[in-house]
Amino acid sequence: MARRDFLGSMAALALVPAPGAVFAAAARSPVLKKVIPATSEQVPVIGMGSWITFDVGKNGQLRNQRLEVLRTFFEMGGGIVDSSPMYGSSQEVIGYCLARIADTRSLFSATKVWTWLQSRGAGQMEESKRLWGVERFDLMQIHNLLSWQGHLETLLAHKAAGRIRTIGVTTSHGRRHEATEKIMAEQPLDFVQFTYNILDRRAERRLLPLAAERGLAVIANRPFRGGDLFGYFARHPLPRWASEFDCVNWAQFFLKFIVSHPAVTCAIPATSRVDHMQENMGALHGRLPNQKMRERMIRYVEAL
């Protein structure tokens, strides 16, 4: 039973406060945002990924379903939307959706360059811009460090020319941390993206402290471990004390753990469903757990 919060039954058992009351109170609070050190602008702490979920090709029905997902994202205060040429038709579908949404002023557009050859990088980025329908990207990243030396040279030139606003590198699944750390320490980046969630916490050792030291914004990918976290924990009750940081479902529990880390700027869960997007965006409001509570959250899930 992936992604069920069991709120009705838990309220009946008095394990948690009535979820509607908790969420209504939290939703009246401002959208939680963090500062991008390179630009001093603030972005909402919950963004949106698009791997698999937006790769629906030319299917009109599926495209329109994704349109409602993205519309909900913006209506509920979202900002960063992340994609890549590696994600099949995702960029084209994002462009389809953006063209049909009236207000996308909060969009912080983030994609990646993903090709072995530096000589093809500029053309790929232009194609991504065409697919999205944007004048320039807010963030261009080097996907999984692929040919990063050559692409970084191109990105720096494009940034200097005003063609892109900020630049970064990415990795995922806990891979290539040593190489990422070296690049973070030595290269003039604005962003770094890697995997971080309540079970995958290796980034706490070196990458997150280094990002804070170097003034790099951090995007956390795989916040639900590809959905596995719901498979592991959704059959268990949300702890009663989750209400202390305005959390009413497991999605918010997982997301608030991530974005409460001082060095994390934004988490980018991916979904193809409006109801799941609504759950995710609930993490944009209310209190965040402090360090003592974060440790309690870890102990709880590890004991299940």
Q: Cα–Cα–Cα angle for 238, 4, 254, nearest 5°?
A: 55
Q: Has residue 145 been placed in a domain?
A: yes
81: β partners:
48, 109
Q: Has residue 184 been placed in a domain?
A: yes
For residue 28, the model assigns a pLDDT of: 67
- What DSSP designation does 107 have? -
Q: Has residue 34 been placed in a domain?
A: no
Q: Has residue 1 been placed in a domain?
A: no
pTM: 0.92
Which residues span the domain enclosing 261?
7-28+40-297
Mean pLDDT in order along the chain per 10 residues (304 residues): 40 39 60 98 98 98 98 98 98 98 97 98 98 98 98 98 98 97 98 98 98 98 97 96 98 98 98 98 98 98 96
Task: For residues 191 and 170, give the distance between their C-alpha atoms in angstroms, rounded to a whole number.
Answer: 9
- How many folded domains does the chain comprise? 1
Q: Has residue 2 been placed in a domain?
A: no
Q: Has residue 242 been placed in a domain?
A: yes
Q: Has residue 134 been placed in a domain?
A: yes
102: β partners:
none
Find tokens 């069991």 and name the residue: 6
Assign residue 272 the CATH number of its domain.
Answer: 3.20.20.100
Q: Has residue 172 been placed in a domain?
A: yes
For residue 24, the model assigns a pLDDT of: 52
For residue 16, the model assigns a pLDDT of: 39
How would DSSP label each residue in 219-246? EEE-TTTTTHHHHHHTTSPPPGGGGGGT
User: Going by DSSP bridges, is the β-strand pair 42-44/80-82 parallel, antiparallel, or unpaired?
Assistant: unpaired
Do residues 154 and 204 lie in contact, with contact meaning Cβ atoms separated by under 8 Å? no
For residue 11, the model assigns a pLDDT of: 34
Sheet of strand 108-113: strand arrangement: 80-82, 108-113, 137-142, 164-170, 191-195, 217-221, 266-267
Task: For residues 69 and 48, give the distance between their C-alpha atoms in angstroms, rounded to a whole number.
Answer: 10
